[in-house]
Structure 1
C-alpha cells in the first residue's frame, strides 16, 4: 500500500495530568518541546489543548496563540489543529481561538455520553462553530463518537455548512460511547465511503485500545492518531515516556504494513490545506 499515512499526535488533552504520567505536557513550553520530538518522530498533525497553571483545562485564546507561536517556530510545516472540545469551555467560548486561523480544529457534530457526563454539542453551537471555521479558513476534523455523527457530517457538507472533502476521525473506546469493535469500525469505513467517497478518515483509540486502533487504521489505508491525551501507557505496566514514543509505535506499524509515513508537505496536500 503506497498511500502515505498521516500521524496525528494528541499531545495533552483535558483529562490526564502529571499525576497520571509525569510526561504529560501541560505548560506551553513543555507542549512545544513534546510536540517537536513527536514531529521529528513522524507526526505531522498536532492536536492541541491548553491548560491553566493548575493543569485544569482552558479555552483561553491567548494561551492557544502562545502555543501556536511556539509550534510554528519549532515545528515548521506541522499542521496545527486546535480543540474546540467541551471540557475546556462552554458555549461559544469553545471556538474563541478560531480567529487565530489554525490549519485545523476539531468539531464534534453531535452529543454522546462520556464516562461521567454528557458531552453536549447542541445543533446551534455546532452550526456556529462550523460557520466560524468556514469564515476563518479552518479545516474541521470531524470527531465521530457515534455512527450518527458520520451521517450528520455528510449532511452538513451536502448543504454547505462544511466544506468538502471531509476529514473524519473515528473515536472508539470512550467509556459509555462507541466501543472498540472491528465490525463497527469496518462499517464506519463503508458508510463514510458510501456517503462521502472523497473523504479522508483517521482512527483514534482511547486507553488500551490505542495501539489496536492504530493498527486497524494503518492496515485499512486510513490515517491514525496517537498521543498522551488518549493513552498514558505503553502497556498495562509501563507509562509512556513521551508523545514521541507513542508516535514511534505508529511509525513501526506503518513499516509493518508497508505504508509510507506522510511528510508534512504530503499531509497538507492530502487534506487540501494551505501551505505551511
Structure 2
C-alpha cells in the first residue's frame, strides 16, 4: 500500500503544563486531543500515562482508561509505550502488554537522554520482543541511534519476524545523546534497515520540522506530538497536538503523498 501515516504522541514522560499549558496529561484530556488529531489526519496514537499529579505512570488502570476512551471515541490504531520514563523498571514496562494494544513501542538499545540514561539491555529487548510475538502485538522498533538499527537486525535474525510479518521502525532523531536530526543521518539509518521495512521518523525539538521534511523526501511516515516538541516555532508554543498533526498533513499534501486512514494503517502493519 502506498502513502504514509501520521502517528501522534500526545504526551511523554517528562513535560508538564509549566512547559506548555496545552499538553494533555489526564485521560480525558488525552482522549479529547486524540479525537481532534484523528480529524486532522492522524492514523495511530502512541500513548503514555500520567497520574493525577501529572507524573509519568505505568499504572494499568490509568492506561486502560486512556485506551478505552480512545477506542470508544476514535478509530485510531492504539500503540502503548513500553518505555515509560527513564526511572521505570523492566517488569512494569513489560506489564503494559497485558492491555493487549494493537501495537507497542520497543526500544532497540540503551541511550543517553541528556543527563539521564534510558536503559534497554539486550536481554530485556529480547524478552519484550518475544512477548509481542506471543500476544500478536505489532512492535514499533524505536531506534535512537545507528547501533539500535544493528540490534534490530540482530533481533530479527535471532527470533524471526514480528507476529504480523511486518517490520515497522521509528527513527527517533535529535535526542541529546542519540543520533543527529539531519538528512545525512537518516540516509545512513535507512540504508541499514531490513529490506522492505515500514518506517517513520520523529524529530525532537528543533529537529522536528527538518526530520519531517527529510522523511517526506524519502518516502517515510511521520510521528509528531507534544511528547517530542512543545514549540511550534521559535516564538510560538504549540497550541495542542492537533496543530502538529495539521502541519504534518499539510506538508504531506505538498509532497503529494496520500495519508492513510486508521484502517489503512492496520493493513500496512499487518493488522487488517
Query: Fold-level match, TM-score > 0.5?
Result: yes
Give ranges in structure 1 of 5+ residues lacking alignment.
none
Q: Deviations over 1:13-59 (max 9, x none)?
A: 11111111111000000000011100110000100000011111001
Contact persistence 1:92–1:125 (CA under 8 A)? no
| Alignment match, 1:45 | 44
Note if 1:84 corresponds to 2:85.
no
Contact persistence 1:131–1:161 (CA under 8 A)? no
Instruction: Give the Cα–Cα distance (whole angstroms) in 2 for the partners of residues 116 and 46 of structure 1.
Output: 28
**SS of match in other structure, 1:234:** strand
Contact persistence 2:173–2:202 (CA under 8 A)? yes
Instruction: Give the Cα–Cα distance (whole angstroms) in 2 for the partners of residues 35 and 102 of structure 1.
Output: 16
Instruction: Give the Cα–Cα distance (whole angstroms) in 2 for the partners of residues 185 and 18 of structure 1.
Output: 32
| Alignment match, 2:178 | 177
**SS of match in other structure, 2:83:** coil
| Alignment match, 1:235 | 233
Shift of 1:162: 4.8
Contact persistence 1:42–1:263 (CA under 8 A)? yes
- Give the number of aligned pairs: 269
Instruction: Give the Cα–Cα distance (whole angstroms) in 1 for the partners of residues 99 and 135 of structure 2.
Output: 8
Shift of 1:211: 1.4
Contact persistence 1:127–1:161 (CA under 8 A)? no
Instruction: Give the Cα–Cα distance (whole angstroms) in 2 for the partners of residues 256 and 69 of structure 1.
Output: 34
| Alignment match, 1:210 | 208
**SS of match in other structure, 2:228:** coil
- Pairing of 1:146-157 with structure 2 (within 5 A): 146-157=145-156
| Alignment match, 1:97 | 96
Q: Aligned-residue CA RMSD in angstroms?
A: 1.3
Contact persistence 2:25–2:50 (CA under 8 A)? yes
Instruction: Give the Cα–Cα distance (whole angstroms) in 1 for the partners of residues 84 and 97 of structure 2.
Output: 15
Give ranges in structure 2 of 5+ residues lacking alignment.
none
